[in-house]
Amino acid sequence: MNARLLLILAIVISGLFYLRAAYAGSAGQIYLLKPLTTLLIIFLAWRMPGSSLLFKRLILAGLFFSLAGDVFLMLPQDRFIAGLISFLVAHLFYIAAFVSSAGFQMTAWPLGAYLLYGALMLLLLWPHLGALRLPVLVYMVVILVMGWQGLERGLFLNTQGAWLAAAGAAFFVASDSLLALDRFRGQFPAATALVMITYWTAQTLLALSVGK
């Protein structure tokens, strides 16, 4: 088994142990395993033989800000805004990565698909956001642009790496949607598992997209 597969296996195992700890309420293991899983993904991206050094650096920057977001969101105090800002910056780095290698693309159906999805999410969330309406709206715009440009880049370059990044961006949109629904519309038991599985899938795909 090569090093890449071993790292992916380590990410999966660490993530599964985190989920077990999260549902068992084991705070010590949560504080260890949540950042550890993202750190393993960062290491995976760092080891990938990237064809574009700029793209790789921008993806790594996004992963590091995601790690900061992980830490803020798992603290016992409510650090939601700090986590939101950290992930917003991460998405800006991901957008920069996509645009750096494909330019800013604008095709009708990818734009329309993400606009429709964003409108539906906003319809579901808006009455429940309260004082957080503006920061959540700004965040939604940024992550939807990230998902949209990831898809545009996949269509434009049509390479394995570009499609991995597009899939990663889409999984990130799904993960944050689930997180928002759980936080603002009402908690549901499967939320933690669904949010983290889609989140770490997104980050792993983005890390793998660095490769040639």
Q: Which pLDDT tens digit goes with each residue over 1-32?
A: 588 999 999 999 999 999 999 999 888 999 99
In this predicted model, what pLDDT tens digit does every residue of 154-203 receive, in sequence order? 999 999 999 999 999 999 999 999 999 999 998 888 999 999 999 999 99
- At residue 78, the pLDDT reads 67
What is the spatial distance between Cα 168 and Cα 147, in angstroms, rounded to a whole number? 8
The pLDDT, as a whole number, for residue 1 is 59
Tokens of 38: 């993202």
Predicted confidence at residue 79, as pLDDT, reads 84
* C-alpha distances in Å from residue 113, one per residue of 28, 97, 109: 41, 21, 6
| N-terminal to C-terminal alpha carbon distance within the chain | 20
pLDDT at 51 over 80: no
Q: Can you give the pTM of this predicted structure?
A: 0.94
The mean of the pLDDT values for the chain is 94
Q: State the number of CA atoms in the 13 A half-sphere of 120 facing the CB.
A: 8
Is 120 buried (19+), middle (13-18) or exposed (0-12) by CB count in 10 A? exposed
Q: Where do runs of H (alpha helix) occur along the chain?
A: 3-24, 27-47, 53-74, 80-102, 108-125, 133-157, 160-180, 191-208
What's the rounded Cα separation, in Å, for the pair 174 and 81?
20
Q: Work out the average pLDDT over 101-130.
A: 95
Three-state SS at 138: helix
